[in-house]
Structure 1
Amino acid sequence: MKKSFLLLLIIYTLFSSEIFCQNLKLKITGNTPLETQVIDSLNYLKNHNNYASVKNEANSIQQRLFRKGFIENKLLGIKKVKDSLFNANFSLKRKFKTIYIYYDKSLVTNSILNLVTSHVFDDYFELKFTEVENALKTINSKISEEGLPFSKLKLSNIRIIDNTNLLAQLSIDATEEKRIINNIIIKGYENFPKSYLMHYLKIKPKQVFDIDEIKVKTEQLNNLRFASELKSPEVLFSKDSTTLYLYLKKTQSNSFDGFLGFGTNEETNKIEFDGYLNLNLTNNLNFGESFRLLYKSDENDQKTFTTNLSLPYLFKSPIGVDLSLNIFKKDSSFTTVNQSAKIHYQINSRHKIYAGVLYEESNNLLNENSVTQIFDYKKNFLSLAYEFQKPQTNNFLFPTNTYLYLETNFGNRKESNQKERQSFLNVNTFKIFNLNRKNSLFIRANAATINSDTYFENELLRFGGINSIRGFEENSLFATMYGLLNTEYRYQLNNSIYIHSIIDLAYFENDIAKINQKLFGYGFGFGLFTKAGLFKFNYANGKNEGQKFKFSDSKIHLSLTTNF
C-alpha cells in the first residue's frame, strides 16, 4: 500500500503540470459572415494556455483592425461557450480607406512628404489608411535627420468626412532647436588623423546631427588599412550641446614580403643585389600617409626600383600629393628613370581623382655602333587619373570587392633634336563575384597602349609574371599595346585558407618587331594565412598560340606578406 502511494505521489509530482494545464480555444466572430471572414484573414492565434492569453489576443486583433481602417470596431465581449472554448465577438462597422492630412509647411517639407505619397498638395496630402503608420514613421525619421532627434509626431482632430474617408491634422512637437554636433571625442585611438573625419567620413563640428547617417559613415572606417571601429558611436546630449563619441582602434597596416640576396660581380668587383623586396609603410606618423619601396631583380637580368609616397589631406584640405620614382635597368642595354608628381582629390571614401606631371628619361648603354632600336630620349607628360574602390569588410582574405584605375598621359618625346607627340593609356580593374559564402569568381582586366608614330625599344610596355599573365617570366614581354584577362575560381575552406584555379588570357602587339600574339596561362594556387602573414603559392604554365604545352615551361610563384 505504501509503495502504491509513493508511486502515485511521484507521478503526480512529475506530470501534474501537464494534467492541470488548461488548453483553451478561442474563436473570434463578427456581426456578419463578411465581418467574420475579415477577422479570419488576420490568422489569429486560436490555442491558448490561460484566459489572460485569450484576452490579450482579442485586444491584439482589435488593434490590427484599427490599422486596417476599422477605426469604429468594438469588442462586444468574450463569452465562455464550453469548458475550454471562448468566443470573442466584434462589431467592425465601417472601413475607412483614405485619410486627408493637413500639414504646416514650416514644420515638414514637400520633399519629405513625397517619400510616402505621390498625392501631395499645397496644404494637405492623401494616404491610404493602411499606410498611415509606416508613413508617419518615415516622416518622423526624416525630421530627426534634420537635427530634431526628439521630435514627436501624431495625428489630431481626426474627423469623418463620409463612409470611407477621414480628415486629420498633422501635429509635430519639435519645440527644441535643431541639434548640431558641437564636439567630437575619439576613444581608443586618440591620435586618429582628424582630417579623415572631415574629408573621408565627412563628419565635422557644426554639422546637423543625424545618428543614422553618422553610423553609416563610421562604418567606412573599416575600409581604412590603419583603423577600424570598435563599436557604434554614442551621443551625449546636454541642454545646449551635443557631443559625439567615436570608438576606434589602430590596426597593423605595415606589410613586407620578398627575399633579398647579394654578391660581388667578378668582372666589376662591385656588390650586386638580387631578389625581391616589397615594403609598405602606412600611417606611422598618424597622418594617414603611405610609403612603398619595391626592389626587384629577376632572372632576365632586369632590375626595378620603385618608391611611392602619398600624403593625403595636406593642411587639413581635401587635396593630397602623390610622388613616385621608378628606375628600370635592362642588363647592359638601357636604363629608364620615371618620375611623377600628382595631386589628388578624395571625392568620398570610394572615389578619387588625380592630376599631375610625369617626366621620363632613358639612356642607351650599348656601343654606339650596335644596331638596335634603343635611343636616348626624354618625355614630358601631363597625367589624369581616376580611382574607384569598393570594399567588402566581411572578408579578411579579400577585403576589396571592386577596383578600377584609369590613367591617361599625353605630351612629347624628345630624341636628339626631334619632338614627337605621344599619349599613353592604362586601365586596371577587377571584380569579385561572390556566389555564396565559400565560392567566388575573381575577374581582372588590364590593358595599356602607347600611341606614337614611331617607337623605341626602351620605351615599350613590359608585362608578364605574377602581377600580369602568370606562367611567364617577370617583365619578359615587350609591347606597344597589350590587353590581358586574369580569372580565378576561388573556394574558401575557412577564413584563413583558400584554393583557386588560374586561367589567364592575353593579346599583345609589338610594332617594332611587327608581331602580334595571343598568350595563355593555366594553373592553380592557394593562399594560407599564418602567424607570419599571408602565404601565396601559384603554379602556372604559359604558352603562345599554337605552341605545345610543356611542363618544363611552368613557373612557380611564392610570396609571403607579413603585417606589422
Structure 2
Amino acid sequence: MSRLIQISFLLLCVFLNAQQKEFWLIDVQTNSKKVVKDSLAATKFLDSLAENNHFFTEIRNIDDEVVRTKIYYDKGPNYNTANVRLSDSVAADLKTSGTFYTKNLDSVRKNINQKYVDLGYSFSRVKTKYLGMEKGIPKVELSVNRNRQRKIDGFVLKGYEKAPKRFVKNLEKEFKLRKYGDENLLAINRSLQNHPFVSLERPPQTLFTQDSTNIYLFLQKKKVNSFDGMLGFGNDKEEKFTFNGTLNLNFRNVFNGFESISLFWQRNPDRGQSFDLKADIPYLFQSNVGASVNMNIFRQDSTFANVKVLPAVYYNLSSRQRLGLRGTFETSTVLDSLYTQGTEYTRKGAGLWYDYTAPTEIELFLHKTRVRAEADALFTNYSAANLDATQMRYFLAAEHNLRLRGNNYLNLKGESAMLSSQNELTTNELLRFGGWNSLRGFNEEALYADFYYYGAAEYRYLVNNQAFFDVFLQYGQLYNKVADLRPQLYSFGLGFNFFLPIGLMSFQISNGNEFGNEIKFGDTKIHWGILTRF
C-alpha cells in the first residue's frame, strides 16, 4: 500500500499542469481501456483496484502525449482469499469476532455493506487496507466509512394527492424515524399492497437531501365502487321452485375520504326480504376516529317486520384494525294478528366490536384474513306482556386463505352467534343465518336460532389470476329453544369463479341437509352472481 501511495503522489506531481488532458488507463493484461478526465480520477481508480483485492497493482509505463496521457498498469492477481481483521468500530457495530479467515472476501465486503445499509447507513463504504502477506495469504483490515445514519423523515404523495391527510399521518406514525433500509421499504410496500382505496403505480422512491430522507409514493385512486348481484334457484319450505336474489351497491371514496355508502337488498325463497343501508366515515375531522350507521329492515312475508338501527363510533388502531362502540335500537311489529309465534318488542342496547382485515395478493379472493367479533348488552321491552328483559348478544366470525402449494389454496371459515335472554325468546327476534354467504345449501336467512355455529373448508385451485375452481364442505349446528330443535347440519358443493370484462362472475351449486336425512336432489341450490367495479 505504501508503494501505491508513492505512485499516487508521483501521478499528482507529473500531471499537475495537465488537467485538461484525457487520461487513458490501459490494463496490460486485457488491453482494456478506461478514460477519465483528470489525474485525480486516475489516482482514485488505481486506489480502488488496491481496495478490491488487487493489492499489488503496479504502473508499468506512462506515455505523456499532447492531448492525452496513457497510463499502462498491471493490477496483478485478485486475492479473494484473505485473513481478515475488522476495525474496532466495525466489530462493535456488528457484534462479531474481530479476526477470521475467508475464501470469499468480496462476499464478506458485500455482507458488511448490506448490514450497514440495514442500520440506516445508506451511503456507507467498506474500505480494505492491505497489511501484508501471512503464509502466502493476504492480511487485510476492513473498515467502514459510515457517513450519517438515514432515517425516514416523511412521505410525499404523487399522482393521487387528494388522499385523506390522516392516511398520510398514519403512515408517518408507523414508519417515521425508522431506519432507512430495504426492510422498511418492503414494509411500506406491503402496507399499501391491495389497499382497498389506493394502489401503487410503482415501488416507493426515495429523495435524499443533506438533512432529510423522504419517501415518494406514486399512488393511483382505485375504482372501488361496486355492483354485486346474485340470482338463486331453489325450493322453498313447501318444495315449490322459486327465485331469490341479492343486490349490493357500494359507493366508496367518492369524496376522497375513504368513506363508503352501501345499499343491500335480498329476497329469499321463503318470501322474506331484507333491506340494509350503511354509511361509514373512517376519519372524522382528520383524526383516527371514525363513525358509521347501519339501518336494517327485515320483513317475513305478511307475518312480522323488524327495523334495526346501529350507530357506531370507532378508532382505527391501524390500517387493518378497528375497535368500536355501538348502539342498538330495534323495533319488531307483528303484521298478522293470527301469527302466534312472535310478539312485538322494542330493544335498546350498547356494545363493543372489533374488526381485522388483512389484504390478499390474489385479486380473485376478497381478503387473506378477516376476523370480526361483537358483544352487545340489550334491554328489551315486550309491550303486550308488559315485560322487561336483559339480554346479551355475541357474534364471532373468522376467515383465512391458506396457500398449500403452487396454485392450491384452502379457505377456512367459521362463524358463531348467540342471543341469551332471561325470558323465552320468540321467533321474530331469533338470529337468522344460511345462504350464499353463510351456510350454503340452505335458503337465505332460512335458519332461526338463539345459538348457532358452523365451520367450512373450501379447496380452491387457481387456474390463473383470472379464474379458480372450488369444492367445499360445511358443518354446523343450531339451537332453537322456541321450536325445541338442535339439528346438526351439513352442506357441500362446488363452484367456479372467473373474471369477465364486466366483472367477477361466480357460479355455485350446493346442497345441504340435516344429519340423518337423505340427500334430496330437489334441495339443490344454484347461485349465479356478478361483481362489477366502477
TM superposition score normalised by structure 2: 0.73
1:415 lines up with 2:385 in the alignment: no
What residue in structure 2 maps to residue 248 of structure 1? Answer: 219
**3-state DSSP class of the match of 2:193?**
helix
Equivalent in the alignment of 2:352: 384
Q: Counterparts of 1:440 and 1:177 in 2: how far apart (Å)? A: 43
- Match for residue 150 of structure 1 among 123, 128, 132: 123
Cα distance change of structure 1 residues 343 and 218 upon mapping to structure 2, 3 Å threshold: farther
Give the whole-Å Cα distance in 1 for the aligned partners of 2:371 and 2:131: 56
Matched with 1:20 is none
**TM alignment of 1:281-430, pairs within 5 A:** 281-367=251-337, 371-372=340-341, 374-393=342-361, 395-416=362-383, 417-430=386-399
Change in Cα spacing, 1:472 to 1:133, as seen in structure 2 (3 Å) is: same
Structure 1, residues 118-177: CA drift from partner, whole Å, max 9, x if none? x7xxxxx75756596466335522442xxx5435565889899xxxxx998966543x58
Counterparts of 1:35-184 in structure 2, within 5 Å, are: 102-103=88-89, 113=93, 116-117=94-95, 133=109, 136-137=112-113, 139-144=115-120, 149-152=122-125, 172-174=145-147, 181=153, 184=155
Q: 2:118·2:181 contact (CA, 8 Å) conserved in 1?
A: no
What letter is aligned with 1:352? R
Q: Distance in 1 between the 2:328 and 2:100 partners? A: 63
String of CA shifts for 1:222-280, please: whole Å, max 9, x gaps. 322222101122233345555543211122111112279xxxxxxxxxxxxx8532101
Q: 1:427 Cα deviation (Å)?
A: 1.2
Higher relative contact order (CA 8 A, sep 6+): 2
Partners of 2:330 and 2:369 in 1: how far apart? 31
Distance 1:218 1:314, change over 3 A: farther
> What are the Cα deviations for residues 29-57 of structure 1, in whole angstroms up to 9, with x where unaligned?
xxxxxxxxxxxxxxxxxxxxxx859xxxx
Q: Secondary structure at the match of 2:112?
A: helix
Structure 1 residue ranges, 4+ long, deviating more than 6 angstroms after superposition: 71-75, 155-160, 166-170
Flag the 1:462–1:386 CA change in 2: closer, same or farther, 3 A: same
- Quick one: structure 1 residues 189 and 319, their matched pair in 2 at CA, closer, same or farther if it must change by over 3 Å? same
- Find the residue that maps to 1:315 and give its secondary structure: helix
Q: SS state of the match for residue 326, structure 2?
A: strand
Number of the residue aligned with 2:168: 197
**How many residue pairs were aligned?**
447
What SS is found at the alignment partner of 2:486?
A: strand
Distance 1:156 1:315, change over 3 A: farther
Question: How far has the Cα of 1:537 moved from its partner?
Answer: 0.9
Note the C-alpha offset of 1:333.
2.0
Aligned counterparts of 1:507 and 1:418: Cα–Cα separation in 2 = 30
Q: Deviations over 1:397-424 (max 9, x none)?
A: 1152221111111232222343322211
CA contact (8 A) 2:119 2:180 kept: no
Which position in structure 2 is the counterpart of 1:468? 438
Task: Output one character per residue of 1:49-105: Cα deviation in whole Å (capped at 9) or x when no partner.
Answer: xx859xxxxxxxxxxxx99xxx99999xxxxxxxxxxxxx99x9x985x9575349x
The residue identity in structure 1 corresponding to 2:116 is N
Question: What letter corresponds to residue 389 of structure 2 in structure 1?
Answer: E
Residue 531 (structure 1) aligned with residue 501 (structure 2): yes
State the distance in 2 between where 1:324 and 1:276 align: 18
Task: Tell me how far apart the structure 1 counterparts of residues 466 and 149 of structure 2 sit (CA, whole Å).
Answer: 51
Say which of 192, 195, 198 aligns to 1:221: 192
CA shift at 1:484, angstroms?
1.1
Identity %: 28
Deviates more, 1:485-494 or 1:305-314: 485-494
CA contact (8 A) 2:230 2:530 kept: no
CA RMSD of aligned residues (A): 3.8
Distance 1:133 1:238 in 2: 26
Does structure 2 retain, via aligned residues, the 8 Å contact 1:158–1:169?
Answer: no
Q: Quick one: which of 510, 532, 546 aligns to 2:480?
A: 510
Q: Structure 1 residues 135 and 304 mapped into 2: Cα distance closer, same or farther (>3 Å)?
A: same
Aligned residue type for 1:470? R
Report the alpha carbon displacement of residue 485 of structure 1 after superposing the two structures with TM: 1.7
What secondary structure does 1:511 align onto?
A: coil
Q: Does 1:188 align with 2:159?
A: yes
Q: Matched residues in 2 for 1:427 and 1:233: separation?
A: 37
Match of 1:231 in 2: 202
5+ residue gaps, structure 1, are: 1-50, 54-65, 76-88, 120-124, 161-165, 261-273
Corresponding residue number in structure 1 for 2:45: none
Contact (CA 8 Å) 1:483, 1:508: kept in 2 or not? yes
SS in 1 for 2:333: strand
C-alpha separation in 2, matches of 1:310 and 1:336 = 22
Question: For residues 339 and 159 of structure 1, what CA distance do their matches in structure 2 show?
Answer: 83
The answer to whether the Cα contact below 8 Å between 1:324 and 1:340 also exists between their aligned partners in 2 is yes
Local SS of the residue matching 1:475: coil
Tell whether the 8 Å contact from 1:215 to 1:232 is kept in structure 2 after alignment: no
Question: Cα offset for 1:360?
Answer: 2.0
Deviation at 1:392, TM superposition (A): 2.3
1:351: Cα distance to partner?
Answer: 2.4
Tell me, in whole angstroms, the C-alpha distance in 2 between the residues paired with 1:558 and 1:451. 36
Letter in 1 for 2:391: Q
Aligned partners of 2:493 and 2:392: how far apart in 1?
A: 35
Aligned position for 2:16: none
The amino acid of 1:408's aligned partner reads A
For 2:365 and 2:172, how far apart are their aligned partners in 1? 23
Q: How far apart, CA to CA, are the structure 2 residues paired with 1:143 and 1:149?
A: 8
Counterpart in the other structure of 2:19:
none
Shift in Å at residue 536 of structure 1? Answer: 0.9
Tell me by how many angstroms 1:299 deviates: 2.0
Q: Secondary structure at the match of 1:512?
A: coil
Distance 1:134 1:414 in 2: 73
Quick one: distance in 1 between partners of 2:56 and 2:431? 82
Equivalent residue for 2:71?
none
CA contact (8 A) 1:254 1:282 kept: yes
TM-score by length of 1: 0.69
2:519 aligns to what SS in structure 1? Answer: coil
Q: Select 2:405's aligned residue among 431, 436, 442.
A: 436
Change (3 A) 1:218 1:403: same
Note if contact 1:159-1:168 (Cα within 8 Å) is conserved in structure 2. Answer: no
- Asked if structure 1 preserves the Cα contact closer than 8 Å seen for 2:199 and 2:221, the reply is yes
Amino acid paired to 2:456:
N
Counterparts in 2 of 1:200 and 1:353: CA distance versus 1, 3 Å: farther
